């Protein structure tokens, strides 16, 4: 099945930012952050092309070591790009950014339950929160496109489909939960390029965790993703699955920390870092 008792609720149905503004791919990251600060919301695939996107999870300081250990033990879904000091709303990934306002949409969690999905979390912010910026697979889509690999969800103007799997992450302290994956359909002729190009970017999830039969991951219907949108496959497309940075949200649902703030699935932080900085050569 493509869900478990630990499955977080699905995200709200914002339009992809790239559709809301046809020039979004050419924005600077700062322009994107300003637009999000003003209230624009939606999936960020294709926005500020060439710049690294990141997942966000903020937890109380007394849970920060558990989260850091969870990320260290599960580097495929949770590659850490930055960790802030307690209470800090800034990141070295974009020094003029405010982590409370500069993502399109957030999720607020209390005791593992989703309680709000605002576009600004200043009213929810706490002085003891430690924020983790985690690599996002949207970052390697530029490399797939450059190698001639079609990116179906971008072509179809949809959010990438994401699924809660039956594979369990390695527990860490009080945190446990299932692996979440994103799926991109790839034609057979482009499969080797998709694997090669994404594997050269381990800081943003790297190569796929599985290619082919979704049942091997406990997914029984690709047309019913747990997050994001269903994507149409061409007749010969192979479903290819990458570890996903929504995995910490599944851990929040399973482990029930007293409080957490995360990004809404597919609605990422736009950093000033360039994608090629994370490419292994």
Q: Report residue 22 as tokens.
A: 């046809």
Say how far apart CA 222 and CA 59 lie, in whole Å. Answer: 31
CATH number belonging to domain 140-243: 3.30.2040.10
What is the secondary structure of 10-77 as a DSSP string? PPP-PPPHHHHSTTGGG--HHHHHHHHHTT--S--TTTTTTEEEEEEEEEEHHHHHHHHHHHHH-TTT
Q: Report residue 67 as tokens.
A: 């989260």
Q: Which residues of 12-39 are buried (b: 16+ CB within 10 A; e: fewer)?
A: eebebbbebbeebbebebbbbbebbbee
Q: For the chain, how long is the longest CA-to-CA vector? A: 52
3-state secondary structure of 204: helix
Say how far apart CA 18 and CA 26 lie, in whole Å. Answer: 10
List the one residue out of 138, 211, 209 whose CA is nearest residue 178. 209
Residue 189 Cα to chain centre, angstroms: 27
Eight-state DSSP code of residue 158: -
- What is 17-134+256-278's CATH number, 2.160.10.10, 3.40.50.2020, 3.40.1640.10, 3.30.70.660? 3.40.1640.10
Task: Indicate the pTM of the whole model.
Answer: 0.91
CATH 3.30.2040.10 domain locations along the chain: 140-243
**pLDDT recorded at residue 78:** 97
CATH 3.40.1640.10 domain locations along the chain: 17-134+256-278
Is residue 186 within 8 Å of 237, Cβ to Cβ? yes
3-state secondary structure of 141: helix
**pLDDT recorded at residue 9:** 55
Is residue 18 within 8 Å of 47, Cβ to Cβ? yes
Spell out, as residue ranges, where the chain has pLDDT lower than 70: 1-13, 18-21
Q: Report residue 65 as tokens.
A: 């070591």
**pLDDT recorded at residue 189:** 97
Phi-psi domain of 117 (left: phi exceeds 0; alpha: psi -120 through 50; beta: other): beta
| Span 107-154, pLDDT tens digits | 999 999 999 999 999 999 999 999 999 999 988 898 899 999 999 998
**pLDDT recorded at residue 4:** 46
Name the one residue in this structure whose structure tokens are 């322009």.
31
């Amino acid at each position: 099945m493509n869900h478990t008792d630990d499955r977080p609720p699905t995200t709200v149905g914002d339009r992809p930012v790239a559709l809301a503004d046809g020039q979004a791919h050419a924005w600077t990251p700062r322009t994107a952050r300003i637009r999000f600060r003003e209230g624009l919301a939606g999936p960020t695939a294709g926005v500020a092309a060439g710049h690294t996107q990141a997942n966000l999870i903020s937890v109380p300081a007394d849970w920060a070591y558990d989260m850091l250990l969870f990320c260290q033990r599960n580097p495929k879904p949770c590659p850490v790009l930055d960790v802030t000091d307690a209470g800090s709303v800034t990141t070295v990934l974009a020094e003029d950014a405010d982590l409370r306002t500069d993502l399109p949409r957030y999720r607020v969690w209390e005791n593992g339950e989703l309680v709000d999905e605002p576009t600004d979390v200043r009213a929810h912010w706490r002085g003891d929160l430690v924020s983790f910026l985690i690599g996002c697979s949207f970052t390697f889509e530029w490399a797939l496109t450059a190698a001639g690999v079609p990116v179906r969800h971008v072509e179809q103007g949809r959010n990438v489909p994401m699924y809660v799997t039956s594979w369990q992450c390695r527990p860490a302290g009080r945190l446990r939960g299932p692996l979440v994956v994103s799926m991109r359909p790839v034609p057979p002729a482009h499969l080797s390029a998709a694997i090669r190009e994404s594997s050269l970017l381990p800081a943003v999830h790297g190569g796929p965790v599985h290619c082919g039969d979704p049942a091997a991951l406990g997914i029984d219907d690709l047309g019913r993703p747990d997050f994001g949108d269903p994507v149409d496959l061409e007749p010969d497309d192979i479903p290819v699955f990458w570890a996903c940075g929504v995995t910490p949200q599944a851990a929040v649902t399973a482990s029930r920390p007293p409080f957490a703030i995360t990004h809404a699935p597919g609605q990422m932080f736009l950093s000033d870092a360039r994608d090629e900085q994370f490419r292994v050569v």
